[in-house]
Amino acid sequence: MPITFSRLLVSIIACSALSATAASRIGTGAVQELYEQKCGACHGMKMESGIGGSLVDDTWKHGSSDEAIANVIRNGVPGTEMIAFKEQLSEEQIRALVILIRERQQMTEPTPTSSDDVINAGDLRLQLQPLMTSDSLLWGMTVLPDQSMLVTQRSGKLWHYHNGNKQSISGVPEVWHQGQGGLLDVAAHPDYANNGWIYLAFSETSGKKNDQGRQVGATKIIRAKLKNNALVEQQTIFSVPLNEQVNRGWHFGCRLVLVDGYLFFGIGDAGFPENAQKLDNVNGKIHRLHDDGRVPSDNPFVNNKEAIKSIWTYGNRNPQGLTYDVQRKILWEAEHGPRGGDEINVIEKGKNYGWPTITYGINYDGTPITDKTAAPGMEQPKHYWTPSIAVSNIDIYRGDVFKSWQGKMLVSSLAAQELRVLDINAEKITGDTLIFNDRGRIRDVQVGRNGEVFLLINNEQEQSFGLYSLKSIK
């Protein structure tokens, strides 16, 4: 019987799409069933062999791009047993098959070798040095001028780490620790040595419930000063009005970047994709404020009566990384796609980044979202991953500890548990190197003031949650 995505969309409810890891989704769902029906006999159920040849050995006779692979599926190859499927498959289904092929390819890629102590990554020999541990998931960090660090624990704790010791900070606002929410990012003002401001992002709720009786909340940002291990002089920088709070527990954002007197931050679509395209909705956007919370007069939509005045860009699904490249003067963003289509973007005033109208991903259950990966008036990512790595925070390396990484982008990831390094030429990503994986979900990566690299790594299976320093060893 021909497979239909509408039938499968109803029947595939085996587990929560949002809680499943990227690795566990590969080879599952509607697109896998479609592949087995249409392609498995010729290419093998795991794409590794058959009369049609392997689809995962990176040997392509008719082009290796997504477009070339889709064209072969669509139109076939005359004179071979590869028939055209354009009459049997929709464009959305063809796109979903391309993503499945990319997922399977990723599973066969070699990874750097490592032992319990030493990571071999090309010419580098690396080691993770534990600095601080906690009893639950760590989310964000910032380095202070005295080389001490503030680290957030998503359950609601803020830690001050210095010279091997950690101290709990009091006065942290009550957070809504629901789903992906809780205490999120922390950032010190660039002029912290003089003004003492620390910025915190977190999810809050007033107890409001939606029409289904589920509690909802939103992302909030405050700033405060640290005195005697307590947060004082707290000020609200950004909050969402009660009647606009719709988040049920996911896609809160929220990374913080302060540069030239402005605060940039990202908020996800809160699980409502269509809101990312609506200028009267805070969700699915990058926002820009003065560092004291005022709306800048040159924001792109300040004269639009219907728009949220703080919006800087829109069409952003779930920003999880944000960093400012001082030398190139570029604001880089890392964004979660669904199943496939994690992105690296250059964030520019007033632009539309496409979600959910265009995407390089599919739904978590293997059904297609759209066949469109591009559209007029919508920005293309500078780099994307299919399958998803669940990209998290990013930073640009400047320092002398890892000289071969100078000016490159460090990328952390959750589901793939990877640290990657991206080569950059102006605004183009020209290379992507895996440094290590399988040490836990890397929530944050930051370059220290002296070129050190710090990582927050969470391993929930082993109940290990820690701050680490990445060391180069001889």
Place of tokens 């809504």: 176
3-class secondary-structure state, position 283: coil
Q: Tell which residue, 24, 126, 95, has the closest CA to residue 390.
A: 24
- Percentage helix, strand, coil, to 5, in the chain? 15, 35, 50
Candidate list 177, 251, 287, 383, residue with the active-site label: 251
Q: Determine whether 251 is an active site residue.
A: yes
For CA atoms 173, 139, 24, 8, the dihedral sign is positive
183 close to 141: Cβ distance less than 8 angstroms:
no
- As a whole number of angstroms, the distance between CA 469 and CA 211 comes to 46
Extract the tokens encoding 187: 């950032």
Distance in angstroms between the alpha carbons of the first and the last residue of the chain: 61
Beta carbons of 99 and 362 less than 8 angstroms apart: yes
In 3D space, the residue among 307, 340, 282 whose CA is nearest the CA of residue 22 turns out to be: 340
Cα distance between residue 344 and residue 95, in whole Å: 21
Contact indicator for 356, 369 with CB cutoff of 8 Å: yes
Of 270, 375, 272, 264, nearest in space to 313 by CA: 264
Q: Rounded to whole angstroms, how far apart are CA atoms 216 and 248?
A: 5
Residue 193 has phi, psi (to 5 degrees) of: -60, -25
d(CA 163, CA 410): 25
What is the per-residue DSSP string for 173-221?
A: PP----TT-SEEEEEE-TTHHHH-EEEEEEEE--S-B-TTS-B-BEEEE
Residue recorded with tokens 């925070």: 393
CA distance 152 to 354: 31
Residues catalogued as catalytic: 251
